[in-house]
């Protein structure tokens, strides 16, 4: 089956990770993932939430938002609706959980790293782009802390990357753009570690149910995609340090 943009079923959209795009943040990355664009910054604060006070442990948390014109029609800022968008709050919790899995929090010391993910333009896969670029921003901030001698041991244990997969017109495929996502029968976000484990699977049969065999096909596509993302993350981190 021909995909909307001519990709193979196991092919990612073109992806670029640009680091160091904010002069103030301890880590910053702009990810361009096809037509999806997300700016991720990592900010370090020498404090932890109340439940971690005097625990010796650090914390990693995330915030996610879409700019009004990230979408085809203007989306009102939350402040004008006087509430946090339910979708955004679900997504930011996913990003926070995913990125905490990268790190041994007891080695971070009592400090918080906040990953802010702001979607400049959305075309499907904004949460997976946020996790993937958020990891790079986090790693940059942690490297900076380590270089400054603020950490005794390097706390990052594994890289984290995420990709979407789905079944569109009966065909399992990797990395759905919005046009594919909006007509997908099954839609799944896969968050993995470079050590081979899964951090989270968000899979829904929206238009149809899916079989165990299809689930396996989706997981295989997700593994293939995240493997490439780990290489891209490594490359971006290497270049940022050069």
Positions that interact with ligand UDP (CB under 6 A): 71-72, 75, 87, 122-127, 178, 181
Cβ proximity to ligand UDP, 53 vs 74, nearer residue: 74
Least Å from the CB of residue 217 to ligand UDP: 20
**In this complex, which beta carbon is closest to ligand UDP, that of residue 124 or of residue 222?**
124
Secondary structure class of 238 (helix, strand, coil): helix
d(CA 37, CA 164): 15
Of 32 and 123, nearer to ligand UDP (C-beta) is 123
- What's phi and psi for 27, nearest 5 deg? -145, 140
Q: State the burial class of residue 66 (Cβ atoms within 10 Å of its Cβ: 0-12, 13-18, 19+).
A: buried
In the complex, least distance from residue 155 CB atom to ligand UDP, rounded to whole angstroms: 27
**Cβ–Cβ < 8 Å for 176, 184:** yes
Whether the Cβ atoms of residue 184 and residue 167 lie closer than 8 Å to each other: yes
Residue 130 beta carbon to ligand UDP: minimum distance, rounded to whole angstroms: 8
Task: Give the nearer residue to ligand UDP in terms of CB position, either 36 or 193.
Answer: 36
CB of 68 to ligand UDP, least distance (A): 11
């Amino acid at each position: 089956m021909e995909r909307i943009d001519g990709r193979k079923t196991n092919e990612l959209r073109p992806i670029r990770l640009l680091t160091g795009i904010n002069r103030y943040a301890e880590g910053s990355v702009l990810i361009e993932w096809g037509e999806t664009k997300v700016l991720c910054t990592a900010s370090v604060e020498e404090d932890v939430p109340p439940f971690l006070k005097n625990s010796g442990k650090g914390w990693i948390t995330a915030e996610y938002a879409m700019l009004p014109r990230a979408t085809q029609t203007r989306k009102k800022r939350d402040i004008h609706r006087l509430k946090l968008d339910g979708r955004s709050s679900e997504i930011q919790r996913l990003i926070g959980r995913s990125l905490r899995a990268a790190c041994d929090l007891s080695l971070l010391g009592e400090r918080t790293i906040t990953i802010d993910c702001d979607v400049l333009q959305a075309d499907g896969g904004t949460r997976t782009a946020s996790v993937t670029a958020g990891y790079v921003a986090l790693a940059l901030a942690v490297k900076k802390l380590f270089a400054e001698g603020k950490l005794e041991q390097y706390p990052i244990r594994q890289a984290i990357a995420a990709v979407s997969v789905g079944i569109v017109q009966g065909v399992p495929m990797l990395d759905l753009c919005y046009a594919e996502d909006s007509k997908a029968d099954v839609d799944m976000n896969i968050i993995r570690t470079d050590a081979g484990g899964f951090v989270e699977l968000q899979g829904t049969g929206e238009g149809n149910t899916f079989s165990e065999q299809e689930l396996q096909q989706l997981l295989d596509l997700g593994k293939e995609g995240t493997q490439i993302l780990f290489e891209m993350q490594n490359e971006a981190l290497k270049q940022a340090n050069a």
